[in-house]
Amino acid sequence: MATFEVALSGDFRLPDGGAAYPSFDLGPLQANPDVRVRYVDPVDGVMPAAALEDVDALILLVPRFDATSVPKSGRLAVVARFGVGFDSVDVPVCTANDIALVTTPDGVRRPVAVAILTFILALAGRLMVKDQLVRQGPEGWAKRSANMGMGLVGRTLGQLGIGNIGAEVFRIARPLDMRFIAFDPYADATVAATLGVELVDLETLFRESDFLSVSCPLNEQTRHIVNAERLALMKPTSFIINTARGPVVDQRALHETLKAKRIAGAGLDVFEVEPTPEGEPITTLDNVILAPHSLCWTDECFAGIGAADVAAVLAMMQGRVPRGIVNREITERAGWQAKLAALGKSFTG
């Protein structure tokens, strides 16, 4: 009897064989008698084609998927990324080989937006500094007045990107009574108006934001879109937050800006090089809050992402077009349509 073969990248598994992320529920796959689940370890950070030859679907966490990952059998039909970023996947290669790439926007929308709000509140309240004051005893307590926080009412919250996550940030920040502005060349003006967001040009975004959150994908247009020139436009009292992708920000320029106190601070969950090397200059500053690309990692987040990936994989198995396809043109390709039809015929009758 035919089985639907699902591979998970090896980083979903602990060295002892246990689940690295228990909130990622594989139950719907494991309970299906027509599905077989296995783990495939990357080689030098890349998924190896040889281990994917008889695989129908791949659920991918950190490893890369490129031209060397494509199995010669032509069987692989979908790569489901665990999250919304897909810069680790060669999209044109997937399309050329009739492989759909799907992501999980619904699973990360609220968790990432909450992570951004966490940075905003921590930076505004100078939480990290005040934590250290307490640890210094009476001498630290005596410095309270010199470390006043910033109130949020009437302040300007800017979003570089008002898509899935950017829009959610504005939704959950509404009770804070802030002014909302955003730059996004692909913005839906109706959505922006509904959220009370003023769409502005890029320079205005940098000049007027008290808190500027980066929520755009990484591509050739956005790489280093946050650079020295634009950082120079920001207020000395302003903060920048990046939870998107590290290379969207010129990290060297940001380091120099923060070191010179030309802006008040930053909250960073992503970096140009990950993991950050020991002694990375930006980690030595006292006006930046850092997280290891995991601030949104909660049981809620991983459960939601996992459920979305499992749903996409099962849709593919049943001959249905999954949600969250990045390379939408794939749905018009005869080769991928044939894979979808064959799967549907095999597993739904």
- Indicate which residues carry an active-site annotation: 245, 274, 293
Q: Record the tokens describing residue 273, joined without a space.
A: 């090089």
Q: Decide: helix, strand or coil at residue 153.
A: coil
Measured distance CA(345)–CA(241) in Å, rounded: 48
The H-or-E segment that residue 101 falls in is: strand 100-102
Measured distance CA(196)–CA(177) in Å, rounded: 11
CB 157 within 8 A of CB 173: yes
CB 157 within 8 A of CB 180: yes
- CB-based burial of residue 128 (10 Å sphere; 0-12 exposed, 13-18 middle, 19+ buried)? middle
Which candidate, 52, 97, 73, 35, places its Cα nearest to that of 316? 35
First-to-last alpha carbon distance for the chain, in angstroms, is: 13
CB 254 within 8 A of CB 282: yes
